[in-house]
Structure 1
Amino acid sequence: MANSYTVLWTNDLCRELIRGGFTGQRPTVLFGGPHQSRPSFRRAGVVPGDRVFAVRAWQAALHTVCAMEVRQIVDYDQAGVELADEDYPALTHWRPLKSGCISEVVLGSPGTAIRFDAPLPGDCLEQLTFTSRRGERKLKYVEDGRLLRALSLQGIYRLAPSSADILDRHLGRQEPGA
């Protein structure tokens, strides 16, 4: 069974994507690395078939920016050997996502459109749950439907299936024509 994960996009990255005209585009590439600012998808346990939700903590809210299903994860330094020719333009196009120290490239089918204007409702925020080998945990620093700190989102975390459904439904409502 496929899992779902969150990855926190910094406000600086989100501003760069907005300025670059990426709003409304569907990501096909993500980048991971060895540092907390650009965490490793492999180390988090992400495998092909899993879904990754990019999220942004902004103005005491959690924004579900987009989601993408993982097709393949390759080492960044082996991308020239392992990637198909049709995947190279995506590496160049999604260059803003490549900031920092990169060690892996995550390829996927076109994800949901990037949005920055749809915060998750507070009641949904309070329900978000993450799972690990140690068990389940709620999203920390949530009070009265407001996200006070993004600390517990820094990294890549596996969502409980019910929380993945919440984010999926929220993104579905935000898609044009939905």
Structure 2
Amino acid sequence: MYALHVKQREVFVVSQMRVIDVERRDCCGIAPAAWDDPAYPGHYDWSMLGAGGCGAQAVHVDATPVRFDIPVSGELLTGLAWRNRRGQTRGLKYVVDGRLERSISLQGFYRLTPEGADVLAAVVSGPAR
């Protein structure tokens, strides 16, 4: 799983993550006793993302450090592709002259193709700017 960020039409890889589990652990704290108790008191930093509300749950991940200095080059952007549940593949929309013109093309959760995942893995493992 990759977290991406767009700034001034440039795409950055923020973090590469691998889900370990979605089970409640000691680090999550005790389960809430009342509706206004925090769902995961051991994960205050993640509460703003909605963990525990609307069916969301804590997810434990193995991740690279969060960074905002790993750009994805324009030529690599055109090679990124996603596959939906029906097996249809689509590329990244709104890439013009190696820059992402509209960030809406990246908003949400998408399944990268194996080739797209390889591209982003190479970007993460390479030197930062």
> TM-score surpassing 0.5?
yes
TM-score w.r.t. the length of structure 1 is 0.57
Question: 1:32-71 to 2 correspondence within 5 Å?
Answer: 52-71=1-20
Aligned pair count? 115
Whichever structure has more strand as a proportion of its residues is 1
Which structure has the larger Rg? 2
TM-score w.r.t. the length of structure 2 is 0.76
* Deviation of the 1:96 alpha carbon: 4.3
Q: Gapped runs of 5+ residues in structure 2?
A: 30-40
* Deviation of the 1:173 alpha carbon: 1.7
Cα distance in 2 between the residues matched to 1:92 and 1:154: 24
Listed one character per residue, the Cα deviations across residues 99-126 of structure 1 (whole Å, up to 9, x for unaligned) are: 9x65312423330111112211111111
**Larger relative contact order, structure 1 or 2 (CA cutoff 8 Å, min sep 6):** 1
* AA matched with 2:98: G
Q: Identity of counterpart residues, as a percentage?
A: 35
**1:137 counterpart SS class:** strand
| Aligned-CA RMSD value | 2.3
* Contact 1:68/1:108 (<8 A) preserved: no
The equivalent of 2:65 in structure 1 is: 113
Moved over 4 A (4+): none
1:87 pairs with 28, 33, 36, which one?
Answer: 28
